[in-house]
A and B are shown apart, each in its own frame.
Chain A
Amino acid sequence: MTAFVLKRLGWMAITLWVVFTVSFFLMWAVPGGPLDQERALDPQIEENMRQRYHLDDPLWQQYLRELSSALRGDLGVSFRLADFSVGEIIAQGFPISASLGIVALGFALVLGMTAGIVSAVRRGSAADVGLMAAATVGIALPNFVIAGILIILLVFLWPLFPAAGWGTPGHLVLPAFCLGAPYAAYIARLTRTGMLDVLSQDYIRTAYAKGLPGRTVILRHALKGAMLPVVSFLGPAIAGILTGSLVVEEIFAIPGLGVHFVQAALQNDYTLAMGLVLLYTTLLYTMNLLVDVSYAYLDPRVKLE
């Protein structure tokens, strides 16, 4: 177990290093740096500036310096947002994006698993057909289309929720729903298949035979077995929710990391973009690691190596 976690952390370090190195050299390869502005500096001043910021050192020295400061957690200053370091932007945006992501994942799990259980237990009923049709729609529609339709319906035609912004729980409902909906649909399908698989097994018959109430059999015995595909889907789901938050934050004007990342990309804010890519890689890796560990916990047959 410990060996497994350590090995995975080692791979994570390698991956981060690869991402950092590739980004660094790409940034370096792009013509034009912070000093190549339209207003040319006096050559002597530019020379001084270059020395000040070590821009005339050999490339490998610059690389090592950047790498060591990144290792110390200093990702540099933003190219475009005055007075902000990358660390400060992350510190501001991360709690917002994280709470949005967690609520979205919660939505996806609760909605998806409930729908999956209901349609598996009432197989062939109108509820089953209806829920699975909804899941199909949810998988096919991109989240920004769902967002647009929901904004028209639930904000303007029937004003239930605020249109955009951040601060109250009401602000969280629509974005989290739009973000979670496609994954809720996938989870519903996975849960349904898993449940149908498990419900036909002998130990379920045994549980019914010894007189357990139906609810206990389904929630205690069947669900645990049916959860496994859902848990292994959580890794991709988390990655997708991280990605989807770019769009959803943009639509609902939520001041999280996604908006910063898109803005950084649009405005060529290299340092911020690179810092965020590193952050997203770390997040994704950690989440996948957690998913794998919990998988081994849920299914005793799985051995972590």
Chain B
Amino acid sequence: MAPDLERYAALLDEARTIKGVSLGQDAWRRLKRNRVAMAALGFLAVLGTLAVLTPLLPLQPPRYVDTARQFAPPEFSQPGESGITLHSGPEARRASLEEGFGRLDPISRALLAVRVAVFRDWSIPSICGTDQLGRDVLSRLFWGARISLAVGLVATLVSLVIGVTYGAIAGYLGGRTDNLMMRIVDVLYSIPFIFVVIFLVTILSAETTRQTLHFELPAGLVKDFQEESVSGQLRAAFAEHRHALGADTALATETPGERWRVSQKEGRDYVVELDGGRLRVVTESTGRLLEASRIVVFFFVIGAIYWLTMARVVRGQVISLRNEQFIEAAQIIGASRRRIIFLHLVPNLLSVVIVYLTLTIPRVMLFEAFLSFLGLGVEAPDVSWGLLANEGIKAITPVRIFWWLVVFPGLALGLTLWALNFLGDGLRDALDPRMKNR
């Protein structure tokens, strides 16, 4: 007996020295050897960090209009005009920040405050030139990156959730259900969805739909009125709610009757009325708050389109996993269907899903750029790369060539899409189980 025990002990010792390599570690090792994919990953990491920290960077305000510097070519020596008023009290400073940066979420506002504290009103020169309103292109590229990347991520995640759920359910249930679900996918596949989305946008952006969508908001604007002098009150109300109405709200100009039109610099109008002593926004063509939610709704729609391929891929994978022993074991110990699908099957799909994720993001971003380019996506005063490219191409004239307006947005978009494509290819190779331990 004793020799056997010794042998087992030796075997155990040997086993302890051998380290198991998980699929993740193995894939990471292989990915690290792929220089192009690593470069792409590095680029994307830097880009993502910079996009998140954009308010912290000493960039010129993306909306600061300076007609004196219209179409200025790239400039390296002269520091940029930040348009931030520092010395005329906190109110003026806040106003100048709002004018330049628009209304921001609290985190970005905090970052912006740090930036102002650190860099004062110094900012990077316009190294990418300025556009037709004298706005700094570099800064607009960074602020546009935030929207373009966010759209890509959000829409892809939506497609991920729908596609994985649908595919996993179809694949696991199999039989007639599977057949029906996949026929539906087939029919959807052959619909040219881009056109359908544009058609949906047509309907969503119809003036009448907008009014019903926008009717109640912004909630903070409902204000009690007791006194007589309405005009003065209106002014006071706007001073107070300037923020909620949008950064660049101009003074209210009264029109006859019970309603007032409020004009903004960027051409957005509100109509306000007195309703039983309360001030209420009746219509707003595109209020900031709702515009944001419209973009969100809209890109959820995009995400809801790109799930088809994901569903097919996941279904195929699930069918091959369904007869594995660990699923059988789970069935035997009485795990519910839902538990098996989401706890046992879905984690095993991770590699397929990750690869497909990195390949979907560039498609979605391209689609966003495409729609914004056509004027159907992100709307001014927000910026996205597609919108910037559109402005650049519109500014092409035979008289003077503003190449920087075309080249820099194109470069930003091209590099990002390139990096995402290569990272996706690299991940696909790295996560291929047939390549394990090679």
Contact = CB atoms under 8 A, between A and B. Distances in A.
A23 B199 contact: yes
Closest 6 CB pairs of A and B: A145-B410, A32-B208, A140-B418, A148-B406, A265-B202, A141-B414
Given A149-B407, A157-B401, A284-B190, A265 B198 contact: yes
Given A148-B393, A151-B393, A284-B192, A31 B208 contact: yes
A63 interface: no
Contacts of B403: 152
A27 B203 contact: yes
Interface stretch (A98-106, A196-204, A275-283): A275-283
A281 B209 contact: no
B236 interface: no
A247 B374 contact: yes
A26 B200 contact: yes
A268 interface: yes
B84 interface: no
A265 B396 contact: no
Contacts of B374: 246-247, 250, 262, 265
Contacts of B195: 243, 261, 276-277, 280-281
Interface class of chain A by DSSP: helix
Contact of B396 (A151, A242, A250): A151
A280 B212 CA distance: 31
B187 A15 contact: yes
Interface in A119-148: 136-137, 139-142, 144-145, 147-148
B396 A140 contact: no
Interface class of chain B by DSSP: helix
Contacts of B366: 142
B209 A30 contact: yes
Given A141-B410, A261-B198, A262-B376, A277 B192 contact: yes
B194 interface: yes
Contact of A281 (B191, B392, B409): B191
Given A27-B203, A262-B374, A145 B190 contact: no
A156 B401 contact: yes
A15 B191 contact: yes
Contacts of A84: none
A156 B396 CA distance: 9
Given A136-B418, A148-B393, A247-B374, A32 B206 contact: yes
Contacts of A243: 192, 194-195, 370
B206 A268 contact: yes
A14 interface: yes
Interface of B: 186-187, 190-192, 194-196, 198-203, 205-209, 212, 366, 369-370, 373-376, 389-390, 392-393, 396, 398, 401, 403, 406-407, 409-410, 413-415, 417-418, 421
A273 B199 contact: yes
Taking each of B390, B393, B401, which has the highest tally of chain A beta carbons within 10 Å of its own beta carbon? B393
Interface string A1-45: 000000000011011001100010011011110001000000000
A239 interface: yes
10 contacts: A15-B187, A30-B208, A145-B389, A149-B406, A156-B401, A242-B192, A262-B374, A268-B207, A273-B198, A284-B190
Given A140-B421, A149-B407, A268 B389 contact: no
A246 B201 CA distance: 15
Contacts of B417: 140-142
A277 B198 CA distance: 9
Contacts of A139: 418, 421
Nearest to B206: A268
B20 to A, nearest CB: 35
Given A15-B187, A137-B414, A152-B406, A247 B373 contact: yes
Contacts of B418: 136-137, 139-140
A63 B233 CA distance: 51
A94 interface: no
Contact of B389 (A18, A26, A144, A156): A144
A264 interface: yes
A153 B199 CA distance: 35
